[in-house]
Amino acid sequence: MIQTVVVLADFRMAFTTAKHDTGPSRGASAGLRLIIIAIICVALMVLDHQNRALVSMRQGLSLMVQPVIFLVSSPARLGNWLSDSFTTRRTLEQENRNLRRQMLAMSAQTQQMATLKTENARLRALLDSTAKLDDRVLIAEIVTVDMNPFRQSILINKGSADELSPGEALIDADGVIGQITRTQLHTSEALLITDLDHAVPVEVLRNRLRTIAVGTGEVERLSLPYLPRNADIVAGDILVTSGLGGTFPAGYPVATITDVRSTAGQPFLEIDATPSAMLNRIREVLVIVADAALENAAVTNDVTDNDTATDDAREESGN
């Protein structure tokens, strides 16, 4: 129909004279032209409908107006493409954040598998293996990193409002990071395991040799200064938390032995280890939350024992 109208417009222009008529003949001339144009339109439509004689002409006209159609529709198509691109980007970023959190939580549960396999090979039966993997954890993000070169600590975005307390351990997908030293309402300060003032009880996964890993002030090095020269430890041994002291649950990776040196005249070995966690690249951590029920039970037992001791002392005084 668009092409037909264009053709009719051309016919109308052909019938239009260079100068407009004036006077009474103007109305009659316009009416005559209108009748002629209408007859030509009807004839063209009938001819096209029956014989499809104008198909080639219509295709040629369509080809001519195609660039115009493309230019007119370009802004709308560009807007739709930009909208879809930004929507897809936001969706992918959100999915990426969710997947990272899920991976972090799942990695924390699978870290102890090496320890469990070693214990299973030696004992052949573990009734509490599931319980060892059920530590309650809380995901936190690192807010700031202490820039003091003599102190290695971080600030996380969880605090006492999230039921955190000093002494709770921090881990990531690869191993132990440190422990909380101070809590605020919505933030907590944590000391990294490589800080000079930090020490963590560990054991060698291969033979369960127990010792203490202390920080050196270097983010990629720990030291084991308390092993005698005849200790069974070699480069490549994996260190995991021993669970002694109650701060760090047993079985979490801490470091890998990189160098063992024996100096003549010294009673202890000089041992270096590389932390399992990438302490200089962490962005999110897992806080191993202490079991409040166990803590309350322990407090209740202590109070009961104290009351019993007090009653015994009163009875002895009365006697």
Is pLDDT of 17 > 60? no
Q: How confident is the model at residue 177 (pLDDT cuts 50, 70, 90)?
A: very high
Q: How confident is the model at residue 154 (pLDDT cuts 50, 70, 90)?
A: very high
> Tokens 């369509």 label which residue?
62
Question: Do 134 and 16 share a structural domain?
Answer: no
- What whole-number percentage of the chain has pLDDT above 70? 72
Question: Do 137 and 265 share a structural domain?
Answer: yes
Q: Which two tokens stand for residue 254?
A: 């801490």
pLDDT of amino acid 52:
62
pLDDT digits (tens, 9 = 90+) for 133-151: 456 788 888 999 987 888 8
Is pLDDT of 282 > 80? yes
43 or 306: which leads in pLDDT: 43
Question: Do 142 and 41 share a structural domain?
Answer: no
Q: How confident is the model at residue 82 (pLDDT cuts 50, 70, 90)?
A: confident
Residue 122 placed within a domain: no
Residue 202 placed within a domain: yes
pLDDT digits (tens, 9 = 90+) for 23-80: 555 556 778 888 888 888 887 777 766 666 666 776 677 777 777 777 777 777 777 7
Residue 141 placed within a domain: yes
> In terms of residue numbers, what domain contains 208?
129-292
Q: How confident is the model at residue 11 (pLDDT cuts 50, 70, 90)?
A: very low
Nearest CA among 163, 165, 171 for reference residue 240: 171
pTM tops 0.75? no
Is pLDDT of 296 > 50? no
Residue 103 placed within a domain: no
Q: How confident is the model at residue 258 (pLDDT cuts 50, 70, 90)?
A: very high
90-94, 136-140, 272-276, 292-296: least confident range:
292-296
Residue 91 placed within a domain: no
pLDDT of amino acid 79:
75
CATH number for position 261: 2.40.10.340
Residue 92 placed within a domain: no
Question: Do 143 and 262 share a structural domain?
Answer: yes
Question: Do 144 and 47 share a structural domain?
Answer: no
Is pLDDT of 176 > 70? yes
Q: Specify the number of domains making up the chain.
A: 2
Q: How confident is the model at residue 105 (pLDDT cuts 50, 70, 90)?
A: confident
63 or 267: which leads in pLDDT: 267
Residue 189 placed within a domain: yes
Give the mean pLDDT of the chain.
77
Q: How confident is the model at residue 122 (pLDDT cuts 50, 70, 90)?
A: low
Residue 31 placed within a domain: yes
Question: Do 161 and 41 share a structural domain?
Answer: no
Q: How confident is the model at residue 123 (pLDDT cuts 50, 70, 90)?
A: low
State which of 98-107, 143-152, 260-269 shows the largest mean pLDDT.
Answer: 260-269
Is pLDDT of 81 > 60? yes
DSSP secondary structure, the chain, as one string = -HHHHHHHHHHHHHHS-SS---STHHHHHHHHHHHHHHHHHHHHHHHHHHH-TTHHHHHHHHHHHHHHHHHHHHHHHHHHHHHHHHHHHHHHHHHHHHHHHHHHHHHHHHTTHHHHHHHHHHHS--SSHHHHT---EEEEEEEEE---TT--EEEES--GGGT--TT-EEE-SSSEEEEEEEE-SS-EEEEETTSTT-EEEEEETTT--EEEEEE-S-TT-EE-TT-BTT----TTPEEEE--TTSSS-TT-EEEEEEEEE--TT-SB-EEEEEESS-TTT--EEEEE---HHHHHHHHHHHHHHHHHHHHHHHHHHH-
47 or 259: which leads in pLDDT: 259
Question: Do 278 and 134 share a structural domain?
Answer: yes
Query: Exposed (0-12), middle (13-18) or buried (19+): which is 41, by Cβ within 10 Å?
Result: middle
Question: Do 282 and 164 share a structural domain?
Answer: yes
pLDDT of amino acid 55:
66
Question: Do 43 and 151 share a structural domain?
Answer: no
Question: Do 280 and 141 share a structural domain?
Answer: yes
Is pLDDT of 116 > 70? yes
Is pLDDT of 184 > 80? yes
